[in-house]
Amino acid sequence: MRIIGIEGGKGPAQALKPAEAPTPQVASGEILIRVKAAGVNRPDIVQREGRYPAPPGASPVLGLEVAGEVAEIGEGVTRWEVGDQVCALLGGGGYADYAVVDARHALPIPAGLDLIQAAALPETCFTVFTNVFEGGQLKAGETLLIHGATSGIGVMAIQMAKAAGARVIATSRSAAKAEAARGLGADISLDASSLDLTAAIRAEGGADVILDMVGADYAGINLNSLNTGGRWVVIATLTGALAQVDLMRLMLKRAVLTGSTLRGRPADEKARLAQAVETRVWPWIEAGLIKAQIHATFPLDQAAEAHAELEKGQHIGKIVLIP
């Protein structure tokens, strides 16, 4: 089968090259998916740069989410049959013609979506659900502050929060992106390039939950924006991982600072999350409350171009590869 290999070098054009590899073998409890679409995510870039290796047992091939058809089922798999259309969360291996995955990490395609749209769901839905609704404990009527609101994660977080009855303050790095976030449902959308963010967020009542993909540069903004009893959830550190935090202010606000990663979690934990996402989020999608926002698609052989597009930072929604 075709894959996208990593030949060394950090730039996408130097590192990502089409290659051939054996089709993966299905073990007990797994399914083989004929990939029709694969989501492109920022962790793929970090892995390409050599800073985010695949967890033990996972494919070293890039790609954390796919949609396609079940081509083969392993022993003990009862939910899926050959020919079923599914999307799935992977530990790796999505940039390929075929991907193997724990059958419990696959979900049916939500009614009304095609395979390209479905490929944009698993990584974002799982990430937002576990961080905003489990780690952040967001409730109806509370305010969620989202930085990087037009990224794939941000777009999904806006829509999931609104579907749950929360209020959303979104920040983006341009007036055009701020307008796009507003169009996706954000109640307040702020252009971070032209505002005093702390003052603007506090003027809107502050935040009960913060979904932070920025990291160090926004540590002070986040702490100052957080309401008493608030929850600050870190899921990426684009501006650095080391930050100064006034612990006394954190204590006085009775706030929680937490963070998580998804890829390295145990298989059983991902299976639990898959069930929770299917139960709570899939009905929102099928009711039209959440839409898969696709920024661009690229053929699989143009994975380098897809990475370059993601690195520009101008995307609104997801970038998807099509084998």
pLDDT tens for each residue of 242-291: 999 999 999 999 999 999 999 999 999 999 999 999 999 999 999 999 99
What's the whole-model pTM score?
A: 0.96
What pLDDT does 214 receive?
96
Rounded mean pLDDT of the chain? 97
The per-residue pLDDT for 157 is 98
Question: What is the Cα–Cα distance from 148 to 256, expressed in whole angstroms?
Answer: 21
Question: pLDDT of 34-60, one tens digit each?
Answer: 999 999 999 999 999 999 999 999 999
pLDDT of 153 above 90: yes
| Res. 9 pLDDT band, cuts 50 70 90 | confident
Minimal CA–CA distance to 263: which of 108, 137, 141, 123?
A: 123
Tell me the CA distances in angstroms from 150 to 161, 253, 258, 261, one per residue in order.
14, 29, 22, 20
**Least confident piece of the model among 6-10, 232-236, 316-320:** 6-10
Q: Residue 11: pLDDT above 90?
A: yes
Q: What is the pLDDT of residues 61-96, one digit of tens each?
A: 999 999 999 999 999 999 999 999 999 999 999 999
**C-alpha span between 253 and 245 (Å, rounded):** 13
| pLDDT at residue 165, rounded to an integer | 98
Rounded percentage of the chain residues whose pLDDT exceeds 90: 99
What pLDDT score does 5 carry? 97
| DSSP strand pairing (294-299 vs 16-20) | unpaired
Phi, psi for 171 (deg, rounded to 5): -120, 140
- Residue 8: pLDDT over 90: no
Q: Give me the percent of the chain exceeding a pLDDT of 70.
A: 100
